């Protein structure tokens, strides 16, 4: 007679997160993702094929070519998929810079970045060309340009040349991060404002004789710590280590402690989708709801990308 296998000793535990306070480690399933995961499981579109790739974010769109003048109904479905899946991508899209800019303009007015300059022909198109002489600088969790009064709505990034290994981009769902907070923390964050300042990440790029003019043009701005997505109504965390300097009207140490905790939420792997790049791949992400992290793990190989960003609204 064989003995029956012993049951998993955790089988009688109600699914929940357990925190080891000493090290800030959390164990257990992230059960609150189930509803959003289920909602996204069976996409229904008429003009595009959408294949979910992540849990609450990340999907591949296929069945269309992006070069040329796409019908409005196709653009509308791409936008709906973008809102639902937060990060969407297209493989095998050998388009030009002109095509890239024209496609991006179908979603809104494009942004010109004051620190990451575009070309004379396409000032809206930022080129990231990394290699042995220019290492990556993007390896940290952040929303783009939150130091603007109106941070970008989203970005469209095109892969021109990618390394054989490495160079992935990870994305983190900050609505899932908010939903995962304890009710007491949500109450604490209600109504709080955070200061966002370009100098934290870009201050070293500004010549000393231009600092006063740039500060006047781009003053410190205040955004809600918890913003509401203007199209979906989702609440989400809107602070990041690149540009958020402090919580307004909060003592410095308490502000730093709170921000350190909130910023760490982007690092929870269950909230993430990690994207591997191929040449001629286009990826659209909703900058309002996701943070991203470009992996700088391919040095000294070459990685060349071009990005168009769409102007957004003032966070509320």
**The 3-state secondary structure of 107-139, one letter per residue:** CCCECCCCCCCECCCCCCEEEEEECCCCCCCCC
Catalytic-role residue among 113, 143, 144, 303: 144
Active site residue 307: yes
DSSP 250-297: S-HHHHHHHHHHHHHGGG-GGGEEEE---TT-EEEEETTTEEEEE---
Q: Is 143 a catalytic residue?
A: no
72 is catalytic: no
Q: Are residues 236 and 289 in contact, defined by beta-carbon separation less than 8 angstroms?
A: yes
Choose, from 234, 246, 265, 307, the residue flagged as catalytic: 307
Helix (H) or strand (E) holding 195: strand 193-196
Sheet containing strand 221-224, strands side by side: 221-224, 193-196, 244-247
Cα torsion 114, 120, 125, 127 to 10°: value is -90
Q: Which residue of the set 113, 234, 292, 303 is catalytic?
A: 292
Distance CA 269, CA 271 (A): 5
Q: Using CA atoms, how far apart are residues 210 and 189, in angstroms rounded to an integer? A: 36
Q: Is residue 168 annotated as a catalytic residue, yes or no?
A: no
Tokens 């970005």 -> residue: 155
| Annotated catalytic residue, options 142, 148, 265, 288 | 142
**Catalytically annotated residues:** 142, 144, 292, 307
């Amino acid at each position: 007679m064989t003995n029956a296998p012993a049951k998993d000793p955790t089988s009688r535990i109600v699914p929940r997160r357990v925190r080891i306070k000493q090290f800030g480690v959390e164990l257990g399933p992230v059960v609150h993702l189930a509803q959003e995961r289920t909602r996204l499981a069976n996409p229904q579109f008429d003009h595009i094929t959408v294949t979910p790739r992540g849990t609450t974010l990340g999907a591949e769109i296929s069945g269309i070519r992006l070069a040329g003048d796409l019908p409005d109904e196709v653009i509308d479905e791409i936008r709906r998929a973008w809102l639902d899946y937060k990060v969407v991508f297209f493989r095998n899209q050998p388009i030009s810079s002109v095509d890239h800019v024209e496609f991006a303009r179908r979603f809104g007015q494009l942004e010109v970045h004051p620190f990451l300059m575009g070309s004379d022909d396409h000032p809206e198109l930022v080129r990231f060309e990394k290699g042995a002489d220019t290492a990556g600088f993007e390896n940290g969790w952040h929303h783009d340009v939150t130091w603007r009064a109106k941070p970008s709505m989203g970005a469209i990034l095109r892969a021109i040349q990618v390394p054989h290994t490495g160079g992935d981009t990870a994305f983190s769902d900050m609505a899932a991060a908010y939903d995962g907070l304890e009710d007491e923390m949500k109450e604490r964050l209600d109504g709080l404002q955070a200061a966002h300042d370009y100098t934290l990440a870009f201050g070293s790029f500004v010549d000393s004789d231009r600092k006063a003019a740039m500060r006047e043009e781009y003053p410190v701005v205040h955004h809600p710590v918890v913003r509401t997505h203007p199209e979906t109504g989702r609440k989400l965390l809107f602070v990041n280590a690149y540009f958020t300097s402090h919580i307004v009207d909060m003592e410095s140490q308490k502000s730093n402690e709170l921000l350190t905790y909130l910023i760490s939420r982007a690092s929870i792997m269950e909230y993430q989708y990690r994207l591997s790049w191929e040449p001629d791949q286009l990826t659209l992400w909703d900058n309002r709801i996701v943070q991203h992290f470009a992996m700088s793990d391919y040095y000294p190989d070459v990685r060349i990308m071009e990005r168009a960003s769409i102007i957004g609204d003032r966070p509320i």
